[in-house]
Structure 1
Amino acid sequence: MKRTASPLRITAAMAVLAVGLTACGDSGAGDGNGDGNDGPYKIGISQLTSHPALDATAEGFQEAFDEAGIEVEFDLQNAQGEVATANSIANTFAGDGDVDLVASIATPAAQAAATAVKDKPVVFMAVTDAVGAGIVEDEEKPGGNVTGQSDRNPVKEQLQLLLDVKDDVKTVGIVWNSGEANSKSQVEQAKEAAKELGIEIKDVTVTNSSEVQQGVQSLSDVDGIYVPTDNAVVSALESVISFGQENEIPVISADTDSVERGALGTYGIDYEQHGKLAGEMAVKILKDGEDPADMAVGFAPEDALELVVSPENAKKFGVEIPQEVIDRADETID
């Protein structure tokens, strides 16, 4: 089945999607939380940057309200990859008395929201390690005004996919942003998994997406490349894909959307579904009055993980995906 990215759906039930930073309003939580009505509510969404996985997350989050029949005004702000801008967005939402709930997409945006917003609920998405990033105290019982959905990946299974495709892999390269706590967590997981799989990890750090092309050049001696859910690297994925194709080094990704952009495959999260699960948490907070402090951080259920492969992409790296792998794939992209 060929996957296609769906456009962001804004329905009548969603009311208005406001774009552009708004002026600060009165401090304090918005009206109407937990009273069992169907809105209208105002939700501020802080998205760290734009790439297909995060865009799908934002779409899924909003779809949850559409399906619940709740009227919402969404104020979607994009930090364009800048942490300082994410901090500014969080502070704006914190001071806007009309905002009932703040949603954040990606770890730096969630860290900014957790720091700035204290008197209204915060729901995060696309965060790998919420405790390690200092966003919540405990995954089972967050204990504050913040909860959400983690996109922690099955890193070992993803690396195993690379071995299933190319059984002579000895060293796997990873480029990651040293400023993203989620990426550090994934690299640590990869190194632990590598020990069990009998391979080595060679990692290279960058500080922003513009450094990715240079960083990947130092991986010419590896047998495969793994792209974690690192926002800087995924934003510059095409440079990693091009390097892999030129040097016949297969590239696997941690997110399914990156397969559409050239990676040979992954066993990963459907980010639209990931965002929808977070949206359902937000619905429970706003409509049903549930307390984020008592809402455990969510993780992708096994049936939300997908094995997605692209035989055509694999050929561009000089490898062939075994038929056995294709047969068990949930989706095959031509």
Structure 2
Amino acid sequence: MKKGLFLAILTLVILITGCGKKEEKKTKIGITQIIEHPALDASKEGFLQALEDAGYDETKVEIEFQSAQGDFGTAQTIANSYVQDKKDLILAIATPSAQAAYNTTKEIPILITAVTDPETAGLTGDNISGTSDMSPVKQQMELVKKLLPDAKKVGIVYNTSEQNSEFLVKKAIEECDKLSLEVITSGVTNVNEVSSALDVILGKVDVLYVPTDNLMTAAIPLVLQKTNEAKVPVIGSIKDMVEQGAIATETIDYYKLGYQTGEMAVEILEGASIKDMPVETLKDTQLIINKRAAEEMGISLDNIDGLDKAEIF
């Protein structure tokens, strides 16, 4: 009897100990990004930091990241894999990845970021929300007038298969029209077409504007090489472009945008319904100037207001 009682107690202790060691099920988050470049990477890092700051570290959250390397078909494959893996939440960075995710599921919550106009892109529904990176195009075009008062023609090379880019080009044309600036555009569909498009357009314009187009952002080293050879200044749309050699931009902080999206993710993980969460934007913008690039192009900064608050390289 004593031996039987001992074995019964030992079994109970083992069962209790085993239950105590059982790991809590982790929340599974899939991050899909159309291509890797500094702005989109910053969005991802901001998102992850917001999760960590709220206590959602690797002990609570299992995160899988995949980049589509600029290919929509790959983005669709990534989205399919996340649905098959039954992710609890998907973060889609940039419009093509967001569209791929939304094409695939209407049930898993999808947070988007670095998407300019979700409505135009068809990204509205009960399981999708996030943040928009709507560029301050008006201020960016005004920079053209302030930095290059004699400029008449603005060139834009953009990806015709990206809806965000189509939207931004239309907005740039509207703003340039108000400033009596003519816009000359050239559409491309892949990075192999960028060089020849630049060769054609740079001989026709006084300045090149590069919007938040993922293909053109990734190709900015080539863009700056070509524009420097042609002595055509560049007005960018994100900080990285100016760091690499564009003259200036007025832009948003993509890290802060991603962080804001991460805060939305925390709300969802803690029980909030995504269908009750409207798409958010960043109101604050920052003037960024590459002083050396301006000097090399013979451009004066005297007409620029707020230089004391600008980030200058």
What is the TM-score of this pair, normalised by structure 1?
A: 0.82
Q: Deviations over 1:86-116 (max 9, x none)?
A: 000001111112x210000110000001110
Are 2:123 and 1:135 equivalent residues in the alignment? yes
Aligned-partner Cα distance in 1 for 2:245–2:288: 12
Q: Is the 8 A contact 2:95 2:164 kept in 1?
A: yes
Matched residue SS, 1:125: strand
Q: Is the 8 A contact 1:248 1:316 kept in 2?
A: no
Match of 1:308 among 278, 288, 301: 288
Shift of 1:325: 4.2
Q: Deviations over 1:181-221 (max 9, x none)?
A: 00000000001111111111111000012221211112222
1:191 to 1:96, Cα distance in 2 relative to 1, 3 A: same
Are 2:199 and 1:221 equivalent residues in the alignment? no
1:39 to 1:217, Cα distance in 2 relative to 1, 3 A: farther
Q: How many residues align structurally?
A: 286
Range that drifts further, 76-85 or 40-49: 40-49
Match in the other structure for 1:100: 88
Aligned-partner Cα distance in 1 for 2:118–2:280: 11
Matched residue SS, 2:138: helix
Q: Is the 8 A contact 2:156 2:208 kept in 1?
A: yes
Structure 1 runs of 4+ off > 3 angstroms?
323-326
Aligned-partner Cα distance in 2 for 1:104–1:111: 8
Structure 2: gaps of 5 or more residues: 1-23
Match in the other structure for 2:250: 267
Match of 2:301 among 300, 321, 328: 321
Are 2:248 and 1:248 equivalent residues in the alignment? no
Q: Is the 8 A contact 1:90 1:116 kept in 2?
A: yes
Match in the other structure for 2:261: 278
Matched residue SS, 2:113: strand
Match of 1:168 among 150, 161, 165: 150
Matched residue SS, 1:210: helix
Q: Is the 8 A contact 1:309 1:326 kept in 2?
A: no
Structure 1: gaps of 5 or more residues: 1-37, 137-142
Aligned-partner Cα distance in 2 for 1:76–1:204: 33
Match in the other structure for 1:110: 98
Match of 2:54 among 60, 68, 79: 68
Q: Is the 8 A contact 1:326 1:332 kept in 2?
A: no
Match in the other structure for 2:80: 91
Aligned-partner Cα distance in 2 for 1:46–1:187: 25
Match in the other structure for 2:139: 157
Q: Which has the larger radius of gyration?
A: 2
Aligned-partner Cα distance in 2 for 1:260–1:120: 38
Shift of 1:42: 1.7
Q: Is the 8 A contact 1:150 1:298 kept in 2?
A: yes
Aligned-partner Cα distance in 2 for 1:56–1:209: 22
Aligned-partner Cα distance in 1 for 2:229–2:163: 30
1:218 to 1:326, Cα distance in 2 relative to 1, 3 A: farther
Aligned-partner Cα distance in 1 for 2:52–2:310: 27
Q: Which amino acid aligns with 1:265?
A: A
Q: Deviations over 1:228-247 (max 9, x none)?
A: 00011111111111122122
Match of 2:27 among 19, 26, 41: 41
- Residue identity (%): 41
Aligned-partner Cα distance in 2 for 1:201–1:263: 18
Matched residue SS, 1:327: coil
Aligned-partner Cα distance in 2 for 1:323–1:195: 21
Q: Which amino acid aligns with 2:230?
A: N
Shift of 1:40: 3.4
Q: Which amino acid aligns with 1:207?
A: T
Q: Is the 8 A contact 1:123 1:282 kept in 2?
A: yes
Shift of 1:273: 0.8
Range that drifts further, 239-248 or 269-278: 239-248
Q: Is the 8 A contact 2:146 2:303 kept in 1?
A: no
